[in-house]
């Protein structure tokens, strides 16, 4: 798997116009420790395999020492792209090896699924964990063991969550390394010196080109990064639309402006150079961005496994569409109750600490869910409510942080890139989640434990990075205004901002249909669609995959052209065609056509999501965005929560297909109603 990460990074970097000799210009800190630790790790494995008694006796201290030294060297180079990700993977594998006295555990069912004989493991430092998911499995760090089977002939293996992070970290490091030139590395060092840091994030293109006549947020410096679309348009469900990490930035770097003519003199790149300066390539070559993007992706994958497992656990246990819809309703109800309060408090608190604590608390709650479901399935509902309530605080903290670390001219592209991560989790995560849940069988608790591990990883990544501070108003900083006064200020701003007010009202009506779809899709897959080869679990997973592929295509394309198109009309068009696709589901009975309509829903979802997010980030003040987004959450997801609560009842009363069709038409009408708002039409 590590070789796959290396090849992926090199191939992607060369395809984007990079050169292998650029790697020679990279200067790592503590290189002797970095490569020495790797040498000790593999030398120990070789010596144990050769039955050398000293190596066998010192196996745990040798391996643990190698991992700790490697972690220290990666920490020293954490500003490099991918290094934080690799650090997280090393720590996870070190925990698993320590819990097993110097051996890396491999779960027996995964070993068999990959095509290996459990009685003849080729590696001398691996140990087999038996199938039962009991206390012994947890004490041996089972969720961090090799649990992901890779049954492909040429790369047959079993991987751990730590292996995934290490591989992706290597891929991003090599991708960025072959793209970077010595001049850009020198620029990075100069920026670090200007900021007073020993390490720094680089501006992912030459300074003169990057800042030529472009506005740079004065409170952020010049750091690259992401902004999260989930904060605007997707509700927190079963723990969140995905755990994310904040990223290091340069605070205190003076804004630099260069005349356009001077920038053009530096520019004039050939075709491959233009590829290297493509917005997506620049973001991918940025170290902090890669940590954020991949960390979010892995956590989102854990959420997908969790969601599929929980939905069908409840459906199989109760056999009730109402019970399933109530799970999703419980998961979104906190958006209505806590949104504004959470946003107000997060505007006052240290947002990095909020994200770390939220991730750790969510990990603890997810661990409890499978035990509660075995005891009494109805205990799942309050736990899901608590899980989402915690996420309510994480979301505005992340939303408030991210616009401070992205340039204005890259905001739309960064928002699109966030949704690319989200939709890659849908495209890859849902099919694999369906297969993985089916593979687990009675071992469903492992799905929840893996999601909990992804939250712990997210918390660790956040703690490892630096977040630029926000310049808060004196009243907020001193606490003089009071929470209620802050709430009123956020409400007054949203009510008085014509574009954001119209966008929110439109979403309240249109996304009622989204709540219907979220709650009824599992039942729709079981009762409406017919297939001789696929069971309802697989159909549900493929419908969600269709939406994910549409999100991926729509988000990527919008990232390329969205900055040149008015945002208000995009929102209107997105809602209209989204509603048409939803209504189309009511009249089809074939799985293939339904998946095609799901793809259309995903594309149109991006057409209204990304412009909506960008409008809020552009128009809401930096020290008020938590409150403003919180009020929007309460309004929009109050509507979605009501939809989820009544979806099962309406489905049982008048039919699942009929309910979906009716509210597809409602979304169309809500989109057309946007034409009545002149500020929104012209936004």
Q: Compute the average pLDDT of residues 506-510.
A: 88
How far apart are alpha carbons 263 and 211 in whole angstroms? 8
- Which pLDDT band holds residue 466 (cuts at 50, 70, 90)? low
Look up tokens 């490091």; give the residue: 173
263 pLDDT above the threshold of 60: no
Sequence-distant (≥ 6) Cβ neighbours of residue 392 within 8 angstroms:
236, 334, 335, 338, 339, 342, 633
Mean pLDDT in residue range 448-453:
82
Mean pLDDT of the region 13-37: 79
Task: Pick 64 or 624 by higher pLDDT.
Answer: 64
The proportion of the chain whose per-residue pLDDT surpasses 70, expressed as a percent, equals: 73
pLDDT tier for residue 183 given thresholds of 50, 70 and 90: low
pLDDT at 639 > cutoff 80: yes
User: Pairing relation of β-strands 157-159 and 148-150?
Assistant: antiparallel
Q: Is the pLDDT of residue 59 over 50?
A: yes
Is the pLDDT reported for residue 105 higher than 80?
yes
CB atoms within 10 A of CB 120: 6
pLDDT given for residue 271 in this prediction: 52
Q: How confident is the model at residue 291 (pLDDT cuts 50, 70, 90)?
A: low
Mean pLDDT computed over 497-520: 87
The per-residue pLDDT for 32 is 87
Q: Looking at 218-232, 297-311, 358-372, 488-502, which range is the least confident one?
A: 218-232
- Give me 118's structure tokens: 């459990």
Confidence of residue 272 (pLDDT cuts 50, 70, 90): low
- The H or E element that residue 107 is part of is strand 104-107
pLDDT, position 180: 65
List, as one string, the DSSP characters of 352-413: HHHHHHHHHHHHHHHHHHHHHHHH-GGGHHHHHHHHHHHHHHHHHHHHHHGGGGS-GGGHHH
State the pTM of this model.
Answer: 0.63
Residues of the chain with CATH 1.20.1250.20: 283-681
Closest CA to 419 of 407, 409, 427, 408: 427
Mean local confidence (pLDDT), 198-210: 33
pLDDT level of residue 217 (50, 70, 90 thresholds): very low
User: For the ranges 32-41, 311-320, 464-473, which has the lowest average pLDDT?
Assistant: 464-473
Q: Which pLDDT does position 503 carry in this prediction?
A: 86
Domain spanning 283-681: CATH superfamily: MFS general substrate transporter like domains (1.20.1250.20)
List the one residue out of 299, 250, 297, 255 whose CA is nearest residue 466: 250
pLDDT at 246: 27
Is 472's pLDDT higher than 60?
A: no
pLDDT for res 205: 34
At residue 581, the pLDDT reads 92
Q: Give the tens place of pLDDT for each residue, 221-242.
A: 222 222 223 333 444 455 554 3
Q: What average pLDDT does this structure show over 93-116?
A: 88
Task: Give the H/E segment covering residue 209.
Answer: helix 207-210
pLDDT the model gives residue 615: 83
Q: Give the span between the Cα atoms of 78 and 72, in whole angstroms.
A: 10
Reported as a single tens digit per residue, the pLDDT across 326-357 is 787 777 777 667 767 777 777 778 777 888 88
Using one digit for the tens of pLDDT, what is the confidence trace for 578-606? 999 999 998 887 888 899 999 999 889 88
C-beta of residue 83 within 8 angstroms of C-beta of residue 31? no
Which 8-state DSSP code applies to residue 236?
A: -
Q: Which residues contact 452 (CB under 8 A, 6 or more apart)?
A: 143, 302, 362, 363, 364, 366, 367
Q: Any idea which of 57-71, 273-287, 556-570, 575-589 has the lowest mean pLDDT? A: 273-287
Beta bridge partners of 127: 105
- Which DSSP string corresponds to 409-452? GGHHHHHHHHHHHHHHIIIIIHHHHHHHHHHHTT-THHHHHHHH
The pLDDT score that the predictor gives to residue 403 is 64
Q: Give me the pLDDT at residue 264, please.
A: 37
Residue 405 has pLDDT above 80, yes or no: no
- Predicted confidence at residue 266, as pLDDT, reads 38
Q: What is the pLDDT of residue 279?
A: 63
Question: Which tokens hold the place of 318?
Answer: 């109760």
Higher pLDDT, 298 or 448: 448
Q: What is the separation, in whole angstroms, between the first and last Cα of the chain?
A: 47
From 29-38, 69-78, 350-359, 524-533, the region with the lowest mean pLDDT: 524-533
pLDDT reading at 102 higher than 70? yes
Given its phi and psi angles, is residue 391 left (phi above 0), alpha (psi -120 to 50 degrees) or beta?
Answer: alpha
Lowest-confidence pick of 36-45, 195-204, 553-562: 195-204
pLDDT band with cut points at 50, 70 and 90 for residue 665: very high
Residue 248 pLDDT exceeds 60 = no
Alpha-carbon distance 377 to 372, whole Å?
7
Q: What is the mean pLDDT of the chain?
A: 74
Task: Write the pLDDT tens digit of every residue in 562-581.
Answer: 667 888 888 899 999 999 99
- Which DSSP category does 199 fall into? S
């Amino acid at each position: 798997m590590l070789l796959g990460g290396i090849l992926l990074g090199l191939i992607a970097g060369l395809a984007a116009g990079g050169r292998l000799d650029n790697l020679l210009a990279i200067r790592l800190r503590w290189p002797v420790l970095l490569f020495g630790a790797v040498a000790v790790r593999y030398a120990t494995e070789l010596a144990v395999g050769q039955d050398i008694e000293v190596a066998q006796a010192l196996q745990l201290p040798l391996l643990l020492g190698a991992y700790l030294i490697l972690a220290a060297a990666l920490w020293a180079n954490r500003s490099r792209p991918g290094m934080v990700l690799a650090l997280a993977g090393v720590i996870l594998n070190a925990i698993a090896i320590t819990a097993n006295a110097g051996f890396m555990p491999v779960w027996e069912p995964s070993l068999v699924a990959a095509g290996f004989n459990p009685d003849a493991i080729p590696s001398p430092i691996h140990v087999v964990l038996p199938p039962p998911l009991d206390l012994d499995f947890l004490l041996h760090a089972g969720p961090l063991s090799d649990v992901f089977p890779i049954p492909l002939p040429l790369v047959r293996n079993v991987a751990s969550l730590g292996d995934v992070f290490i591989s992706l970290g290597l891929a991003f490091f090599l991708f960025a390394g072959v793209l970077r030139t010595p001049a850009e590395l020198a620029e990075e060092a100069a920026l670090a010196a200007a900021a007073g840091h020993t390490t720094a994030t680089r501006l992912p293109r030459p300074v003169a080109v990057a800042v030529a006549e472009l506005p740079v947020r004065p409170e952020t410096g010049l750091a690259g990064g992401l902004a999260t679309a989930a904060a605007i348009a997707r509700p927190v469900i079963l723990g969140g639309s995905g755990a994310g990490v904040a990223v290091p930035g340069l605070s205190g770097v003076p804004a630099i402006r260069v005349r356009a003519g001077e920038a053009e003199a530096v520019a004039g790149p050939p075709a491959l150079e233009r590829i290297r300066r493509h917005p997506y390539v620049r973001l991918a070559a940025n170290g902090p961005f890669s940590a954020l993007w991949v960390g979010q992706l892995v956590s989102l994958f854990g959420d997908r496994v969790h969601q599929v497992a929980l939905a069908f656990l409840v459906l199989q246990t109760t056999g009730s569409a109402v019970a399933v819809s109530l799970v999703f309703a419980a998961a979104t109800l906190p958006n209505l109750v806590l949104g504004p309060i959470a946003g107000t408090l997060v505007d006052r608190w240290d947002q990095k600490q909020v994200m770390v604590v939220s991730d750790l608390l969510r990990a603890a709650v997810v661990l409890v869910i499978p035990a509660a479901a075995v005891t009494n399935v109805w205990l799942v509902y309050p736990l899901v409510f608590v899980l989402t309530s915690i996420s309510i605080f994480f979301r505005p903290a992340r939303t408030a942080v991210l616009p401070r670390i992205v340039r204005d001219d890259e905001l739309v592209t960064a928002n699109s890139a966030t949704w690319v991560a989200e939709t890659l989790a849908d495209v890859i995560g849902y099919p694999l989640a369906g297969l993985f849940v089916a593979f687990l069988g009675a071992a469903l608790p492992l799905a929840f434990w893996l999601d909990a591990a992804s939250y712990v990883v997210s918390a660790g990544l956040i703690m490892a990075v630096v977040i630029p501070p926000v310049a808060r108003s004196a009243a907020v900083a001193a606490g003089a205004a009071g929470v209620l006064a802050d709430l009123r200020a956020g409400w007054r701003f949203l009510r008085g901002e014509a574009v954001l007010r119209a966008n929110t009202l439109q979403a309240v009506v249109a996304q009622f249909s989204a709540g219907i779809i979220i709650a009824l899709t599992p039942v729709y897959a079981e009762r409406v669609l017919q297939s001789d080869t696929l069971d309802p679990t697989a159909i549900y997973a493929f419908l969600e995959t269709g939406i994910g592929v549409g999100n991926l295509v729509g988000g990527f394309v919008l990232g390329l052209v969205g900055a040149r198109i008015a945002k208000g009309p995009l929102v209107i068009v997105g809602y209209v065609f989204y509603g048409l696709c939803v209504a189309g589901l009511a009249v089809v009975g074939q799985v293939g056509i339904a998946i095609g309509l799901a793809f259309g829903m995903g594309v149109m979802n991006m057409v209204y999501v990304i412009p909506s997010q960008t409008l809020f980030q552009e128009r809401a003040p930096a020290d008020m965005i938590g409150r403003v987004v919180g009020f929007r959450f309460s309004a929009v997801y109050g509507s979605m929560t009501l939809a989820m609560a009544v979806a099962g009842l309406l489905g049982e009363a008048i039919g699942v297909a009929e309910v979906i069709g009716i509210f597809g038409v409602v979304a169309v009408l809500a989109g057309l109603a946007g034409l009545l708002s002149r500020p929104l039409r012209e936004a």
